[in-house]
Amino acid sequence: MDVAAGNWALKEWAVIVHALLEGEQILDVRKGGLREDGRHFSVQANRLWLYPTAEHQKPELLKEPYRHWIDLAHAAPVGEPITLEGWADVVKVATVTSEEELDAIASKLIWTSDYAASRLGWKHRDPLWVLALRVHRLDEPVTVDGVANLKTLSVFDAVYGAVRGAPFPERKEK
């Protein structure tokens, strides 16, 4: 299967993508600002392919029970074909601007509290964006050729361009 023109991908640590696909995490937290328009994060689409990357992920930034997941999570080296195992629908978007708000969602994240606080403090005038996601796993993973084939919502966004092929799979009701 190929991926549809005009679709977007959420470029995220492979270990976070793994947690989302396993149902261990339903929130994703974004700051943005390196490559986004105006140097600020924004949600460009409500349906996103989950694009795993190994960039910046380190075991010590994860809560202890999840650190071994780095070995379980798969990410292609930059420029290599990317395997997509699922997609997410963004069902709610909120912002976090204080330590108290961050503490309220800390149990919903696999990041350590210290790392989450450091993300809140970086570019302190900008909020953390919290995306509540409904995640879907593909029956069979899809591989797309390299970074030139995905538009992404990411902190380091080296990937702009059309995604080619068929649309997202239809969601199967159970």
Question: Is residue 27 within 8 Å of 105, Cβ to Cβ?
Answer: yes
Residue 38 lies in a domain: yes
Q: Report residues of the chain scoring pLDDT below 50.
A: 1-6, 34-35, 148-149, 152-169, 171-174
Number of domains into which the chain is organized: 1
| Inside any domain, residue 70 | yes
Residue 87 inside a domain? The answer is yes
Residue 102's domain comprises: 8-153
Is the model's pTM score more than 0.95? no
pLDDT tens digits for 104-120? 999 999 999 999 999 88
**pLDDT score at 147:** 52
Q: Let me know if residue 109 belongs to a domain.
A: yes
pLDDT for 51 equals: 87
40 occurs within a structural domain: yes
CATH number at residue 16: 2.30.130.30
